[in-house]
A and B are shown apart, each in its own frame.
Chain A
């Protein structure tokens, strides 16, 4: 999130798109309702009338996978009706930048396309003789970003958008006029999103589309505004920050590539931009190496840079791992608090792939479907060679540690009770694992140095490791005296500081009174609550907050001033996110985005794999042709081998989409084993419209089969008026909605919707397309 949960109270219009906020993030409604008490409006964009849509002021039913069409329509509406905030975009974004003359877009394809990928050279700015981008602050130059944007989205007129999305013209106009009115300088529009936006073959561009709209309306960096990703798990923000994904190191440093970064000097030279706060990157990486390898890391040996694993240039995300496993390329696997046999796309393929493992260690609260894949329905345990170990893990209430919420607040949680039986904390399991590895490597092995040289000292023997030592290491300390660092501005690239995750630096900088443990409510103010926990970075609660005031420092909305210039100084209700010592305010008026080389936000972004502007494509499987261009799908999708044949419209005429319900959590292994929750939502069900039910003779509460080329599942039909067939380009389209919480283990088993979902994903992130695919449904 750019903002935070409590800040929702300052919104004037909240648009929940690709997020079912009431159902899956119920606490958000406390702050949304606080805003609505002031007259704010809640818009829900969702294929179904969800619990969010039921309580919203406006509901626009959207065909799954057409978010860019809708958001593009809103961008066009904003530009056409001149509702954008001109002074904001001229100063704070790259709207005025003139693009390279080689850039073009034609019939769904951007310049530079060849054989399934883009050469991005033309997605760049025209430079002046000094090498700086040329700009036209009047926004008139035909190749300036604003004009290119305007032309690109002129194609997204209301009629075309409604044709693609399947909504009525009336609904579109109502949503557009309500939301785009937040382009007024003193109004705040807030976009909430979650997996409905990201889980798509153009998921990253969906997110980009929300950002472009918000920038045009001047909604970034202001109280009540923002692009707010609502994370689906309590600590998924923290796990991303700590680099649980294969392509990054903690704090969003790119993972070194073997080809590009053979030495530390190569890494620093290629990964460190000349401008922006990322110019400090060597300090972050070297401090991390010092945290990992301590005294062993010296300037002479490049701080043990060669002990870091390097990437081989290939994709190693979720789908890629399971494809490799299916090919027999992976011997062993730790499945730690994850349940891909239920949560992974094309789940039966992934379950089958697990059979190729020699060993698997599952660490979880219960025996998950993944841990018991070898005795799943129709499997033959005798023919499966995999040795499976199940390590019982402690639940969140049974261990100390911090949890980072969607608003980047790192909040310490104290252990409430002892874990039952032999269950152990994750830290204890990791500590014991390391100690065992160290012992075996001490006897010999291939390349033992990185393991034996680790700076790992959190506890003796089998005692519970001291988690505060881990916290101090993440926060960072001075090598000389082990004193905690105040924050990351104190990091050095000479080996005098250690820091496990630079963005977290400051969260545990006082061992007596760590900020992450603070719980002081704000007495008066705008709800920043600066002494309640710690928000990365630097306890900053709203990112890009220079944008909350105009170039002269006057707040756009004087009722909720965030950082503003008054009486010859900056007054602050938040930690400033700009060079606030550089005055007068005009000095920072064109550098409010300190993490980008331009120092201004990107309406046009050269950094994406699939285009500098979000463009609508149909999902990999769609019942209709792309109305906007002859390019049916995102042209740079990876079509994974395991996918097999796509569903045809003739055999699989309905759109399938998956989601969660309030009563269950993720793969359901915790909630389906919790009788109070399971009693409320006991069985796998699918939601279909009354019209589809009548056509197929399906009665409410009866059993049905749902199928795709990937597999078939059984479920109970819920015939509901909350799902309606949609008119898409003259064709009536039906949707089959299904939660994905069930699996073959636990107190309340059932079939998993992910047996149906495909092995295909976004070209930037490889996130699977869970939200839109083709299926069929029939009576059981």
Chain B
């Protein structure tokens, strides 16, 4: 069984320790940002921002917080669509980005329903949460979890974390949060981040029914019979070149900025 991160949004006080700890541990640089009328900043995940806190104001006057990072989906679009096999499933169950293999084609960025993978214009490489593989393999917790002051982020075996999440939902319902729910139990065949929410996923900026276009499977099917890396390189290089150009266009249009 794999380990997951449990995000208890009702314990989170949005100190953003997770966001900074991630940059600290992974030596990720800061970018130049603007204040855009929300505390969420940088506004999206980036090749050099693998974790950020999303602040959402609801119509009912609540202020919701959610620590967002790679979901390490059990059914991960990125693994399936990457023409280079640069995204790999680790023994711990997380999705590892192999930067050496990455060609910066942005296909993963287009298919990920959570907009997690982002390609840096400076390095032409995709960057995203690694699940702190080098930490967890040594028995440590991911940096974001270690730094969380009050247990809003927990790390543990999936079954145990789900049990804890269910207990928290019951507690929250008893406190009057009738809409308390768990996100990530079945989405994408199970996420590597389990969220305890008190409102709908959309209220936190999470997709209600995450998925990805089935044609993405074509990539996987196409890759397997071809067999050798060389062939993949030749084939996908052509397509990837096109898709990368398209991906950059899309990024520009979205107003994202990476360094």
Q: Are B15 and A662 within 8 A (Cβ)?
A: yes
Provide the bound-state CA to CA distance between A700 and B37, in Å: 5
B63 in complex: contacting residue of A33, A675, A682, A722, CB < 8 Å: A722
Q: Are A679 and B42 within 8 A (Cβ)?
A: yes
A675 in complex: contacting residue of B30, B64, B149, CB < 8 Å: B30
Q: Are A675 and B13 within 8 A (Cβ)?
A: no
B17 within 8 Å of A (CB atoms):
yes
B20 within 8 Å of A (CB atoms):
yes
A720 in complex: contacting residue of B24, B32, B57, CB < 8 Å: B57
Q: Are A718 and B57 within 8 A (Cβ)?
A: no
B-contacting residues, A34-63, CB 8 Å: 49, 51-55, 57
Provide the bound-state CA to CA distance between A684 and B10, in Å: 28
B29 within 8 Å of A (CB atoms):
yes
B-contacting residues, A283-326, CB 8 Å: none
Q: Are A29 and B13 within 8 A (Cβ)?
A: yes
Q: Are B62 and A701 within 8 A (Cβ)?
A: no
Q: Are B30 and A27 within 8 A (Cβ)?
A: no
Q: Are A722 and B57 within 8 A (Cβ)?
A: yes
Given A51-B63, A675-B29, A680-B41: A30 and B150 within 8 A (CB)?
Answer: yes
Provide the bound-state CA to CA distance between A722 and B38, in Å: 12
A23 within 8 Å of B (CB atoms):
yes
| Chain B residues within an 8 Å CB radius of A30 | 149-151
Q: Are A54 and B63 within 8 A (Cβ)?
A: yes
| Chain A residues within an 8 Å CB radius of B41 | 679-682
Q: Are A701 and B149 within 8 A (Cβ)?
A: no
A22 within 8 Å of B (CB atoms):
yes
A459 within 8 Å of B (CB atoms):
no
A253 within 8 Å of B (CB atoms):
no
A186 smallest CB distance to B (angstroms): 23
Provide the bound-state CA to CA distance between A33 and B171, in Å: 13
Residue of B nearest to A32 (CB): B150
A23 in complex: contacting residue of B13, B30, B33, CB < 8 Å: B13
Number of residues from B at the complex interface, CB < 8 A? 36
Residue-wise, chain B 35-54 has the 8 Å CB interface mask toward A (1 for contact) of 11111011000000000000
Residue-wise, chain B 10-30 has the 8 Å CB interface mask toward A (1 for contact) of 111111110110011000011
Residue of B42, B62, B63 with most chain A CB atoms under a 10 A cut-off: B63
Residue of A nearest to B175 (CB): A57
B31 within 8 Å of A (CB atoms):
yes
Provide the bound-state CA to CA distance between A22 and B175, in Å: 20
| Chain A residues within an 8 Å CB radius of B19 | 680
Residue of B nearest to A700 (CB): B37
A677 within 8 Å of B (CB atoms):
yes
B255 within 8 Å of A (CB atoms):
no
B65 within 8 Å of A (CB atoms):
yes
B253 within 8 Å of A (CB atoms):
no
Residue of A nearest to B28 (CB): A676
| Chain A residues within an 8 Å CB radius of B33 | 679-680, 682
| Chain B residues within an 8 Å CB radius of A52 | 13
Given A29-B13, A675-B29, A676-B30: A681 and B39 within 8 A (CB)?
Answer: yes
A721 within 8 Å of B (CB atoms):
yes
Provide the bound-state CA to CA distance between A722 and B31, in Å: 28
A627 within 8 Å of B (CB atoms):
no
A-contacting residues, B205-230, CB 8 Å: none
A441 smallest CB distance to B (angstroms): 48
| Chain A residues within an 8 Å CB radius of B149 | 26-27, 29-30
B196 smallest CB distance to A (angstroms): 13
A683 within 8 Å of B (CB atoms):
yes
| Chain B residues within an 8 Å CB radius of A23 | 13, 15
A33 smallest CB distance to B (angstroms): 5
A663 within 8 Å of B (CB atoms):
yes
Provide the bound-state CA to CA distance between A49 and B63, in Å: 8
Q: Are A662 and B31 within 8 A (Cβ)?
A: no
B139 within 8 Å of A (CB atoms):
no
Provide the bound-state CA to CA distance between A677 and B33, in Å: 11
Residue-wise, chain B 45-87 has the 8 Å CB interface mask toward A (1 for contact) of 0000000000001010111110000000000000000000000
A184 within 8 Å of B (CB atoms):
no
Q: Are A718 and B14 within 8 A (Cβ)?
A: no
Residue of B nearest to A719 (CB): B37
Q: Are B150 and A33 within 8 A (Cβ)?
A: yes
Provide the bound-state CA to CA distance between A678 and B150, in Å: 23
Q: Are B36 and A701 within 8 A (Cβ)?
A: yes
Residue-wise, chain A 513-553 has the 8 Å CB interface mask toward B (1 for contact) of 00000000000000000000000000000000000000000
Q: Are A54 and B13 within 8 A (Cβ)?
A: yes
Residue of B nearest to A34 (CB): B150
| Chain B residues within an 8 Å CB radius of A682 | 32-35, 41
B137 smallest CB distance to A (angstroms): 25
A89 within 8 Å of B (CB atoms):
no
Residue-wise, chain A 672-704 has the 8 Å CB interface mask toward B (1 for contact) of 000111111111110000000000000011000
A388 within 8 Å of B (CB atoms):
no
Provide the bound-state CA to CA distance between A11 and B34, in Å: 41
A717 within 8 Å of B (CB atoms):
yes
Residue of A nearest to B171 (CB): A37
Q: Are A679 and B14 within 8 A (Cβ)?
A: no
Residue of A nearest to B9 (CB): A55
Q: Are B150 and A679 within 8 A (Cβ)?
A: no
Q: Are B34 and A683 within 8 A (Cβ)?
A: yes
Provide the bound-state CA to CA distance between A679 and B23, in Å: 11
Residue of A nearest to B63 (CB): A54
| Chain A residues within an 8 Å CB radius of B31 | 679
| Chain A residues within an 8 Å CB radius of B61 | 49, 721-722, 724
Q: Are B13 and A51 within 8 A (Cβ)?
A: yes
A680 in complex: contacting residue of B16, B36, B151, CB < 8 Å: B16
Residue of B nearest to A662 (CB): B15
Provide the bound-state CA to CA distance between A23 and B16, in Å: 10
A716 within 8 Å of B (CB atoms):
yes
Q: Are A718 and B38 within 8 A (Cβ)?
A: yes
Provide the bound-state CA to CA distance between A28 and B180, in Å: 25
Residue of A nearest to B20 (CB): A676
Provide the bound-state CA to CA distance between A721 and B64, in Å: 12
Q: Are B15 and A26 within 8 A (Cβ)?
A: yes
B34 smallest CB distance to A (angstroms): 6
A-contacting residues, B170-219, CB 8 Å: 175
Residue of B20, B32, B149 with most chain A CB atoms under a 10 A cut-off: B149
Q: Are B63 and A717 within 8 A (Cβ)?
A: no
Provide the bound-state CA to CA distance between A53 and B20, in Å: 23
Residue of B nearest to A53 (CB): B63
| Chain A residues within an 8 Å CB radius of B15 | 22-23, 26, 51, 662
| Chain A residues within an 8 Å CB radius of B35 | 681-685, 701, 716, 718
B150 smallest CB distance to A (angstroms): 4
Residue of A nearest to B151 (CB): A33
Provide the bound-state CA to CA distance between A113 and B30, in Å: 58
A415 smallest CB distance to B (angstroms): 20
Provide the bound-state CA to CA distance between A675 and B23, in Å: 11
B22 smallest CB distance to A (angstroms): 10
Residue of B13, B32, B38, B57 with most chain A CB atoms under a 10 A cut-off: B13
Provide the bound-state CA to CA distance between A520 and B94, in Å: 37
| Chain B residues within an 8 Å CB radius of A701 | 35-37
Residue of B nearest to A37 (CB): B171
Residue of B31, B33, B65 with most chain A CB atoms under a 10 A cut-off: B33
B197 smallest CB distance to A (angstroms): 14
Provide the bound-state CA to CA distance between A691 and B74, in Å: 45
A-contacting residues, B82-98, CB 8 Å: none
Provide the bound-state CA to CA distance between A23 and B11, in Å: 13
| Chain B residues within an 8 Å CB radius of A720 | 57
Interface set of A (CB-CB < 8 Å, partner B): 22-23, 26-27, 29-30, 32-33, 49, 51-55, 57, 662-663, 675-685, 700-701, 716-722, 724
Q: Which 5 A-B pairs have the closest CB atoms?
A: A675-B30, A701-B37, A700-B37, A22-B13, A683-B35
Given A662-B14, A679-B41, 9 other A-B contacts at CB below 8 A? A22-B15, A29-B150, A33-B151, A55-B10, A55-B12, A679-B42, A680-B19, A682-B33, A683-B34
Sample (13) of A-B pairs whose CB atoms are under 8 Å apart: A22-B13, A26-B149, A51-B14, A675-B29, A676-B20, A680-B20, A680-B33, A681-B39, A682-B33, A683-B35, A701-B36, A716-B37, A718-B37
